[in-house]
Amino acid sequence: MKITFDKIVALGNDFIIIDNRNNKINIDSEIIKKIAPRRTGIGADGVLILERSETYDFSMVYFNQDGSRASLCGNGARSLILYAHNHGIGKEKVKFISDASVHEGMVVNGIPIVSMPGTKAYYGKIDNFYFLNTGVPHAVVITENLDFDIDKLAKPIRFHPKVMPDGTNVDFIKISNEIYARVYERGVEGETLSCGTGAIAIAHIANLILKKPYPIKINFKGGTLTVDKDKDNNTWLSGNAKLVYTGFINI
């Protein structure tokens, strides 16, 4: 089976994007585990499948690198908007559905922007982290130093008994005049260079606990994401993304 794809990078988060609106490809976790690994496949943090929708411009299906399906990925959603823009799918403003919610998106001056579900649930502080759900679970840790072994510090939180059985992504933030962050993503089981749903979680904590006003900029290793609220309190996520290459792979 020959699969055509685009590779898009959003602030260091990289994605394989496949258009399956004709429903000719039966993509499951086993296929994801063949194409997503960096040494034996194309290499990506995740795989986005653009599916047909009877109600919206398209639907978004997201798989983590390890083949597990996730309900949402913020940078992935922005990458999918850029893909739709590049391929003439939908209108100038698109509307699509993920496993988490309905989204609107557009490309403004080359920057893909997406509406997000915001904070779906806030559970408060557990031990040394704030736990919330922004489409997927996130633990936010406020620290004075970001120079550490992230695997060592993140894994006990990733599999903390109070966040199981699903586990959680883990975001470490340092706040001075600006917000700096590092993120450990479940499904990748390691550090990624940025995270969209993580940015939403960090912005919520920065606003709620530290009284930072929106718009809030979060500086990741891969670049800066901006989280904003409109007059109706809708949440929007924006930041750079770019097409790296197109290709095909035989499975």
- Clarify whether residues 219 and 245 are in a common domain: no
Mean of all residue pLDDT scores within the chain: 96
pLDDT band at 155 (very low <50, low <70, confident <90, very high): very high
| Catalytic one of 32, 113, 183, 195 | 195
Residues 51 and 130 in one domain: no
Check residue 1 and give its pLDDT: 81
The tens digit of pLDDT for each residue in 17-26 reads 999 999 888 8
- Does the annotation count 195 as an active-site position? yes
Q: How many domains are there within the chain?
A: 2
Same domain, 75 and 151: no
Residue 246 shares a structural domain with residue 142: no
Q: Are residues 221 and 147 in the same domain?
A: yes
Scanning 15-174, the segments in alpha helix (DSSP H) are 29-35, 74-87, 150-158
Q: Is residue 88 located within the same domain as residue 7? A: yes
Six-digit token string for 37: 């690994």
Same domain as 85, residue 126 = no
List C-alpha distances in Å: 129 to 85, 123, 126, 205, 206: 38, 10, 5, 10, 13
Residue among 36, 47, 73, 94 flagged as catalytic: 73
Same domain, 245 and 234: no
Give me the helices (H) in 88-231, please.
Answer: 150-158, 196-208
Terminal-residue alpha carbon distance, the chain: 5
Do 84 and 162 share a domain, yes or no? no
- For residue 193, the domain's CATH number is 3.10.310.10
Q: Are 129 and 78 within one domain?
A: no
Summarize the confidence of residues 138-151 as an average pLDDT.
97
Can you give the residue range of the structural domain that contains 200?
121-238
Same domain, 32 and 86: yes
The residue assigned the tokens 């586990």 is 167
- Judgement on whether residues 91 and 133 belong to the same structural domain of the protein: no
Per-residue pLDDT tens digits for 71-129: 999 999 999 999 999 999 998 999 999 999 999 999 999 999 999 999 999 999 999 99
Q: What is the pTM of this model?
A: 0.93
